Amino acid sequence: MSALKAIINAHLTANGAMTLHDYMALALYHPQHGYYHQDQVIGQDGDFITAPEISQMFGELTGLWLAHQYQLQHLEDKAILVELGPGRGTLMADLIRAWRQTSLPLPPIHLLETSASLRAIQQERLTDLAEVHWHDDVSTLPDQPVLMIANEFFDALAIRQYRLFQNQWQERGIQYDNENNWVLDWLDIETSDAFPAFLYDQAQNLNRDKDQMITYAPALAPITKAICQRIADHGGAGLIIDYGKSDGFGDSLQAVMQHQSVDPLAHPGEADITAWVDFSHLSQMAEQCHCAALGPVPQGQFLKSLGLLERAEQLGKGAEPELRRRLVSEVDRLVNPAQMGQAFKVMAILPDAYAKTPQPGLE
């Protein structure tokens, strides 16, 4: 049995049950055995592949979108570039390269990353390219204008799932079945002061006949607010790219291992466990901080409107057929609705004052 399974068993034996949130937090973030602390999780040889790992054009175009905001808002030398969950550092490396093609000075880079092994990869990749700082938590980010990017970050936050069953709030958790296997089940809970008001609002629209559930990531609010506060106070912008939808209803819990979908309870610490991002929660948090949230728009639409096809053409000009074929396949994976083009969404966060200005990719 894996070390993490033993830890979870000890907890279940002592307490009878564990919330899905606590399970996910251990499976992903346990400092020794958590999934994000393993080597080789992202990329062709890992468990899943992300847009920046598919194509350099992803980091280039999103980087130029942020550079445009830098210019538009006259942020000059006060701004910092922030990435939440930079993975292997690929997006930031491509962004830096594209930024350097502009005449703008490159702001210092601040990365939010909890995993030591991913930090080591980022360090190797980026320290020769720019001034880079790492943070465990958003609270230590400097209080300055922020240009932020977060790709497949919010889907990695541990979730809580709730339902109202016969007027009783229940939270999804893990218990033993009769044969001592772990199963997902519903646990009755007290709705105390700690119960988020946000959920009561959502509950008004719950379809109770269908035992509909609400999926909620508690860490989303403090992280988003910390970024939005800086954008509202000093200027800046954020781009959030993730698979998700415009509410938190239903179950989108999933686990992936070596590019295959697996049972979320089967391989704690060895499989990536994620859930769809609730973009309405992101926009509510932005609005609470007096920022505007634009979108979400489908990733395919966003990238095409920023000039993905033209960039691919430029890279392919006079190139070997092999490279040209690769570029066609990269474009297809990023924009085809059957691939990442539709399920992945892009949301932009801006100071209220810029919300009326047409923004590239989000018209």
Residues that bind ligand SAH (CB under 6 A): 36, 42, 50, 52-53, 85-87, 91, 112-115, 118, 151-153, 156, 219
Q: How far apart are CA 142 and CA 138, in angstroms?
A: 9
Closest separation between CB of residue 151 and ligand SAH, Å?
4
Closest separation between CB of residue 152 and ligand SAH, Å?
4
Query: Quick check: 62 and 91 in contact, CB under 8 A?
Result: yes
**Rounded-to-5 percentages of helix, strand, coil across the chain:** 40, 25, 35
The residue (of 85 and 235) whose beta carbon lies closer to ligand SAH is 85
Q: How far apart are CA 275 and CA 277, in angstroms?
A: 6
Closest separation between CB of residue 40 and ligand SAH, Å?
13
Q: How far apart are CA 238 and CA 190, in angstroms?
A: 36
Number of Cα atoms under 13 Å in the Cβ half of residue 51: 32
SS3 state at 212: coil
The residue (of 136 and 263) whose beta carbon lies closer to ligand SAH is 136
The residue (of 53 and 171) whose beta carbon lies closer to ligand SAH is 53
* DSSP element (H, E) containing 294: strand 291-298
Q: How far apart are CA 266 and CA 187, in angstroms?
A: 20
Residue 9 backbone zone (phi > 0: left; psi -120 to 50: alpha; other: beta): alpha
Which has the closest alpha carbon to 303: 337, 252, 280?
337
Nearest residue (beta carbon) to ligand SAH: 85
SS3 state at 176: strand
The residue (of 163 and 345) whose beta carbon lies closer to ligand SAH is 345
Closest separation between CB of residue 176 and ligand SAH, Å?
28
Closest separation between CB of residue 62 and ligand SAH, Å?
10
The residue (of 12 and 330) whose beta carbon lies closer to ligand SAH is 330
Closest separation between CB of residue 256 and ligand SAH, Å?
11
Structure tokens at 121: 């990869």
The residue (of 115 and 144) whose beta carbon lies closer to ligand SAH is 115
Q: Distances in Å between the alpha carbon of 156 and those of 66, 153, 181, 307?
A: 23, 6, 25, 29
Query: Quick check: 47 and 272 in contact, CB under 8 A?
Result: yes
Q: How far apart are CA 340 and CA 221, in angstroms?
A: 26
Closest separation between CB of residue 112 and ligand SAH, Å?
5
The residue (of 42 and 312) whose beta carbon lies closer to ligand SAH is 42
The residue (of 42 and 334) whose beta carbon lies closer to ligand SAH is 42
Closest separation between CB of residue 252 and ligand SAH, Å?
16
